[in-house]
Structure formats: C-alpha cells, structure tokens
Amino acid sequence: MLRYVGERLLQAMIAIFGVLTIVFIVMHLSGDPTLLLVPQGASAEMIADLRRELGFDRPLWVQYVGYLNDLIHLDFGESVVQRVPAIDIVASRLPYTIQLAAGALTVAIGVGIPAGILMATRRGGWLDRVLTAVVVTGQSVPTFLSAILLIFVFAVTLGWLPASGIGGLSNLVMPSIALGALSMSTFARMTRISVADELSKDYVRAARARGLPMPKIIVRHVLRNASIPVISIAALEIGNLLAGAVIIETVFAWPGIGQLAIQSIQARDFLIVQVIVLLISFVYVITAVLADFIYAIVDPRIRLAR
Amino acid sequence: MTAVRTTLTALAFALLASTALAQSAKTTLTIDLPNEPATLDPHLQWNTDSYSVYRNIFDNLLTRDVSGEIVGQIATEWTYLDDTTIEFKIRDDVSFQDGTKLTAEDVAYSILRIIDPALKSPQLSQFNQIDTAVATDATTVKMTTKSPYPALLAQLVKLSIVPKAYMEKVGAQEFNVKPIGSGPYALGEWQKGVQTELKANDGYWRAKPPFETVVFRAVPDVSTRIADLKTGKADLIRDLSPDQTDSIKETENTKVLSVATERVGYMYINAQAGPTTDVRVRQAIAYAIDRSALIEALLQGYGAQVNIIGAPPVFGYTDEVAGYDYDPDKARELIKEAGAEGAKLEFLTSPSYSRALVEAIQQMLNDVGFDVSISASDQATFLKRRQGNPENAGSLAFGAWSCACQDADGIIFPLFRSGSQWAKYANPDYDALVDSARSTLDKDQRMADYKKAYEILREDVPGLGLYQAFAVYGANAKLNWEPTANESMFIMDMSWQQ
C-alpha cells in the first residue's frame, strides 16, 4: 500500500511539473503585464524601463530557471500588480473557495444521491419522471445562466437572499445551488444506474427471499456495492467544482481563487496564476489518491487484492 | 402583567426610535466597483478601481474644482521662477491620520519617491519630466523640470502626498497594507478580494466627511452590480454600459448618473502598412462611419459627437477643425480612385471595448466596399500588437483614450508623434507642432500649435475622433453626487438626501 502511494505521489509530482511548465510558457508567450500596468500615454522607453525593472526583458528560459529555483526554495514570488507575496494573496482567498466547494458538494450529494436512489427504486413511476426532469435541467442549464436567473428571482424579485458577496449562510445558498447543480445531476444519474444495476442482482433477490425489508436491503447491501463508481465520480467532481467556481465566483462576487485566477490571468499576474495552478493540480491529485483509499475501505476485495 | 406590557411597549418604542434614527442619517455608503484596488499605495498602481479608493485616503498637491479648473489642495499657491523652476507654497494646517503634521518635506519626498526608478512605479511616465524637488523651508517646495513642461500642473493633480516619516519607518510593503494619508477617510479594514472599508477622518481639514463609513466592494459581474443596486445592497455602482441603464431608470429608487468626460472614443487607422497606407482609403473610412448613428443607437445618447481626437474638457480642444460628414457615396468614390475595392482590413479589438460598437463600424465599412474582419484577443495581446511594428498592428482598432490630465499633450502626442509606440504614422510637420506645444508655457502658442496639428490629422487621417465618452454610474435615488470629467470618485463631493 505504502509503495503504491509513493508511486502515485511521484507520478503526481511529474504531472504538476508538466502543468506548471505549460502554463508558464503559454502565459509568457502571450505577453507580459508591463503594457497593462502603465498609463496609456507612457512612452516606449518608459515601458522598456519598467519591463527591465520587473525582469520581464530576460530570455524566457532564464525567467523559467529563476522561477523553478525560487520554487525549490519554496519562494512563490511577489505579485507584480499588488506588490504582495503571491502565496499570501492566494491563501487569503482559499477559505472562501473551500466554503463554496463544501456548500456545492453538500447540495450535490445531499440532493443527488437520495434522488438517484429514489429514481432507481421507483423506476418508471411519476417520481422517477419528475426527478429525471430536474436532473436534466441541472445538467443542461449553463451555470452562468442559472446563476443570473437565481439572482433575478431570489434577490431582485423576491428579496429573500443577498445578490452577491460573502457574509452569513444566506450568502452561500445561491452560489452553492448554482455551482452544485451540475454535480448534483451527475451524482443522481450515477447513483440511479449503479443502484438499479445492483437491484437486479441475485443477492438482492436472496435477501428479499429471506424476508428482509426493502429499505434495509438498500441501505445495508445495495448502497455499499453501488458506492464504488459514485466515489470515483465524487473525486472527479471536486475538480469540476473548482473549475466551475471560476464562473460562479465571478457572478456572485465570491472572493475565492476562481475569481482571483481570472483576474490574475487578465492582468498577466503570472506568479499568482502559478500558485493557483499548483494548488489546483495538487487538489486533483490528492483527491484521486484519497478516492483510492476510500475504495479500499469500502470494498475489502480491493484491499485484499494488493 | 402591566409591568410586562409597559416594558414591551417601551421596547417597541425604543426599536422604532432606533430604526427611525438609522433612517434619518446614512452612516454607511456602499460602492460596488468591478475589482478591488490593486494597491492602496497611491504611488503604485494607477487604475480606476485603485484610485477610486485611495484618492479618498490621501490629499493631492493640486486638484480640479467643479468647473475643471486646476486649484490648490495641499498647495495654496505656486509661481514659476523660470521656465523650468516652480515654487509651491504648502498649507501648514494639515495633519496626517496618525496626527503628525504634513510639511513641505513630505511633499518633496512624495515627488522624489514617485520619480525614483527603483520604486518601479507604473505611473513614472506621468512624472518623469520632473527633475527634482526640494523643501526650502517648512511650507515651500521648489520643483525643477527637465525642460519647460506645460502639462506639469495637470499631471500634479494626480500626485498624492504620503507621510515621509511613516513610510520610512514601515517600508513600502507595510505601507501598501496600512496606508496613512491626510485625506477625508482612513483605511478601516481591507478584506482582500472582498471589500475595502474606509472610516471618516473626523479632524479632516476641509470639512466633516459626509459618511461615517464607506465600503468599496469588488463585484466583477455587471448584472450582479445592478442587482446589488436594486436590492439596496449597494448605493453606487461603476462601469455600466449604456444598454444597461434602462432597467436602472425603470426601478423606482435608483437613478443613472452620467457626465461627459475627457475620454474620447476614436478609431486608429494604420498609415504605415496594408491597404490603409493610401490616404484616400483612410479618408474613405472617415466618410463611411456614421458617428451620430453610433452615438444614438449604441451609446443611447451617452456620448457627444466630436470632430477631432479630443473633447471639450481637454486643453487644446478646438471645434474649429471640420469633421468628416457621413457620406458613403464619397467613400465609395475614394475607394474606387484608390483601387481598393474589397480591400481586406483587419480590425483589432479586445474584451475591453464594446463588441457591438466594433461590429457596427465593421458593417458600415463593409457597406462601402471594404472587407473587414475582426480579430479579438485579450487586452495584453491586443496592446502588444497595437503597440508593435506596423506590419503586425492590423489596419484598424477602436480605442477609448484618456490621459486623466485633460491636455492634448497626453492624447495626440503619444498617439501620433512618430517614434511613439502607438503611432503608425509619421509626418515631420505634425511632429514639429506637437513638439513645440509641449515645450512652451505660452498658452496661446500651444492652442495655435494644436489647432494646426489637428488640421494635419484631419487631412492625413491616421486616426479619427468618434465621440466624447460619458461616464455612466448607477446610484440610489437619494445619493447626491455630480460625477466629474476626469472620472474621479471623491466621497467628499457626495451627500445623502434625507
């Protein structure tokens, strides 16, 4: 098991290194922030001077080696726009993204899994049809649209919830629903398929023959077997939530790292972008490894095979 | 039982009274900006979302009054000792928010700090004509420029005064997070990415600030800013496009505030590469664009027609230079003469500019026989191409120019003087005129130079003035505020209607 984890982590390091290199090259090839920083009338010499002061006039590979060297020493550099260490800026935004991801995941799992179970057990019934409609809607309405619709209905028209920003739990409701909707649909569909699949197996028939009540069979036996594919989806969904957060955080003025990423890319604030990329790659890798762990706990067959 | 009832009644009254009190005096003003300030150090970033906030924390050496005239703020008077030396008298009744007195030393320090290349200030180009500054006594600062520099005062309107002693004690990085100025508001709390809260500086020397607390929130999406305004979460929002104003006008407790600014919407036309090297093609483009249609249909009246690349609040602006009337037949004629039928023109743009406007212009040009294609890229790439060599700079681009200095020197000098990275045009006669206008303090001479320069631009059409841009804000109906031509946002100018 330990060796397996070690291998996975090594692979992850290589993947993260690759991602960083690609992001570094792509961002630097499309220009540096100097032009965005100066006032419109700045002369060419002034721009050249500032570019030299900021170090963007050096050959790309020199900047790259310098960047990697700093990284090895855990120096993530300073934002050229804000003149504050990049790691501090990202760290100050991270809690908001975690809050939002937790809220969205609660919506996704809390609604998606029960809905999936109901759909599987009431296959073909009216409840299945209604829930299918909800799931398809959650899946097909783009987040930027559902976000604006939610604001229009619940903030502007009804006045129940605040339109933007952070604060109490009420601020978290709309962003979580908008962000969680897609994942909710994925969970519901996956749960429906795997539960339905398990329900048709012999052990269920045997349990029923023994006279066990249906809810007990589902909770004790079916769900356990149906959970493997759902767990791997969950690991992927955390990555998707981070990606979806970019749009949701912008619409709801939610100060997380998604919004920060967009602003930093537009401003060519390279070092912040690099820290965010590093962080998100890390999360992806960690969740994938964690999912493997959880498989092993849930399913002894996987544990024993190693 | 009675006692309980009395207590309850008293409580209810107390509650009513407190809400009534809260209604009678507005204590917190909330402003939605598209982004948070990049820095609160006024000598670093110069962008609207940053200076909208930090200009309320600091006083400037000079400022503009309601009519746009340059008047003193920290300076009381100034005299030119010769063409390159100017002496400022400094107020002696101003204190910083930490209680220390503002002196001529702080003013001299602020100037020397911003012109020091080691600060890497993006604003350096606005002040680099200043050679040095020295405090000759507690209330006098002597400043020298490298050459006679007529736009000096207009640039100094943007110079904020920082406390020398505090800055030297805490260093630039700490100052950026905990700035201290002499302005009407002090920084309360800067919640990174969320909001910047300012607290009134009650001892402010000009007057008592109108609101106890001012909160600047960062709300990137314009629909969300509008929703905030309508739900009362925000009292003032910035950066609206004209088509979004209707819904604000229709809502009962909100209104639209707008003002004609010094910003000018213009077309750049590449005179050094591609089909547009032929002056007849450039003139045809000028004839083909229906400026009044752009203003009425796309800007919904939030714009005023101009004949030149300049606007009335700008020194050097003249309405005596004729414009190009909308005349598509004349345009077709010129195109035929130049043999440029179906000429392919690349129109550069970025998300910073209205897509509708760019497409409308594309349509107008295609109507007279050009083949215009739009190349959209992000702002950094757009600037790189637009400022790069002429061969790669496209044929056309739309722009909205403001130097925030209200002087033609900040507009047509960088745009068209040969050697400037923006210019895809060279004309020695033009260069001589704008050079002359930037090196004399004689206002009449400068006006005459600019008039001639604008006439040359009219003939050569390396660019075309389209309209004077309006700044458009959404506000709560109770907010009294007259926005200014230089797009500043001074809380001191605002008040709340009871």
Q: How far apart are CA A156 and CA A150, in angstroms?
A: 9
Report whether pLDDT(B213) > 90: yes
At B318, is the pLDDT very low, low, confident or very high (cuts 50, 70, 90)? very high
Q: How far apart are CA A223 and CA B490, in angstroms?
A: 62
Closest Cα in chain B to A267: B380
DSSP B326-340: --HHHHHHHHHHHT-
Would the CB atoms of B414 and A40 count as touching at under 8 Å? yes
Quote the pLDDT of residue B166: 95
Would the CB atoms of A30 and B233 count as touching at under 8 Å? no
How close, in Å, is residue B174 to chain A by CA atoms? 9
Would the CB atoms of A84 and B177 count as touching at under 8 Å? yes
At B22, is the pLDDT very low, low, confident or very high (cuts 50, 70, 90)? very low
* Residue A40 at interface with chain B, using a CB cutoff of 8 Å: yes
B198: helix, coil or strand? strand
Domain holding A202, by residue range, is 92-264
Q: How far apart are CA A223 and CA B256, in angstroms?
A: 57
Residues in chain A with pLDDT values less than 70: 1-2, 302-306
Quote the pLDDT of residue A219: 80
B260 backbone φψ class: left, alpha, beta (φ>0; ψ -120 to 50)? beta
Residue type, B32: D
- The model's pLDDT over B376-400, given as tens digits with 9 standing for 90+, comes to 988 888 888 888 889 999 999 999 9
Q: Which of A39, A43, A162 sits opposite B46 (nearest CB)?
A: A39
How close, in Å, is residue B222 to chain A by CA atoms? 8
Would the CB atoms of A35 and B120 count as touching at under 8 Å? no
Most A CBs within 10 A among B125, B167, B174, hence the mutation to make, goes to B125
- The model's pLDDT over B63-117, given as tens digits with 9 standing for 90+, comes to 988 888 899 999 999 999 999 999 999 999 999 999 999 999 999 999 999 999 8
Instruction: List, in sequence order, every beta strand (DSSP E) within A195-243.
Output: none
pLDDT average, residue stretch B312-334:
92
Closest Cα in chain B to A42: B125
* Residue A161 at interface with chain B, using a CB cutoff of 8 Å: no
- The reply to whether B4-20+41-170 and B262-469 are identical in fold is no
- Which residues in chain B have their CB less than 8 angstroms from residue A259's CB? 193, 220
Residue A180 lies in a domain: yes
Quote the pLDDT of residue A304: 60
Would the CB atoms of B217 and A253 count as touching at under 8 Å? yes
How close, in Å, is residue B385 to chain A by CA atoms? 10
How close, in Å, is residue A35 to chain B by CA atoms? 7
User: A88 near A160, Cβ under 8 Å?
Assistant: no
At B7, is the pLDDT very low, low, confident or very high (cuts 50, 70, 90)? very low
Most B CBs within 10 A among A32, A34, A35, hence the mutation to make, goes to A35
B139: helix, coil or strand? coil
The superfamily (CATH) of domain B4-20+41-170 is Dipeptide-binding Protein; Domain 1 (3.90.76.10)
Q: Which of B41, B220, B401 sits opposite A250 (nearest CB)?
A: B220
Q: What is the ipTM of this complex?
A: 0.70
How many Cβ atoms are within 10 Å of B429's Cβ, its own excluded? 10
- Which residues in chain B have their CB less than 8 angstroms from residue A37's CB? 45, 122
Residue type, B197: E
Would the CB atoms of B420 and A43 count as touching at under 8 Å? yes
Would the CB atoms of A263 and B220 count as touching at under 8 Å? yes
- Which residues in chain A have their CB less than 8 angstroms from residue B410's CB? 41
CATH code of residue A234: 1.10.3720.10
**What's the CA dihedral at B219, B222, B228, B230 to 10 degrees?**
170
Report whether pLDDT(B2) > 70: no
Quote the pLDDT of residue B103: 93
Task: Work out the burial of residue B314: count CB atoms within 10 Å of its CB; fewer than 13 is exposed, 13-18 middle, 19 or more buried.
Answer: buried
Would the CB atoms of A250 and B421 count as touching at under 8 Å? no
- The model's pLDDT over B405-455, given as tens digits with 9 standing for 90+, comes to 889 998 999 899 998 889 999 999 999 999 999 888 899 999 999 999 999
The residues, ordered by sequence, that sit 6+ positions from A3 with a Cβ below 8 Å of its Cβ are none
- Which residues in chain A have their CB less than 8 angstroms from residue B384's CB? 30-31, 35
At B9, is the pLDDT very low, low, confident or very high (cuts 50, 70, 90)? very low
- The model's pLDDT over B243-272, given as tens digits with 9 standing for 90+, comes to 888 889 988 899 999 999 999 999 999 999
- The model's pLDDT over B162-179, given as tens digits with 9 standing for 90+, comes to 999 999 999 988 999 899
Q: Which of A42, A81, A251 sits opposite B224 (nearest CB)?
A: A251
Would the CB atoms of B122 and A50 count as touching at under 8 Å? yes
How close, in Å, is residue A82 to chain B by CA atoms? 5
Closest Cα in chain B to A39: B123
User: B61 near B159, Cβ under 8 Å?
Assistant: yes
For the domain spanning B262-469, the CATH number is 3.10.105.10
Would the CB atoms of A41 and B411 count as touching at under 8 Å? yes
Q: How many domains are contained in chain A?
A: 1
Residue A195 lies in a domain: yes
Q: How far apart are CA B285 and CA B269, in angstroms?
A: 9
Would the CB atoms of A155 and B122 count as touching at under 8 Å? no
Q: How far apart are CA B315 and CA B400, in angstroms?
A: 18
At B351, is the pLDDT very low, low, confident or very high (cuts 50, 70, 90)? confident
Q: Please choose, from the candidates A165, A155, A160, A156, the residue with its C-alpha nearest in 3D space to the C-alpha of residue A249.
A: A165
Closest Cα in chain B to A153: B227
At B211, is the pLDDT very low, low, confident or very high (cuts 50, 70, 90)? very high
Most A CBs within 10 A among B47, B167, B192, hence the mutation to make, goes to B192
Per-domain residue ranges of chain B: 4-20+41-170, 262-469
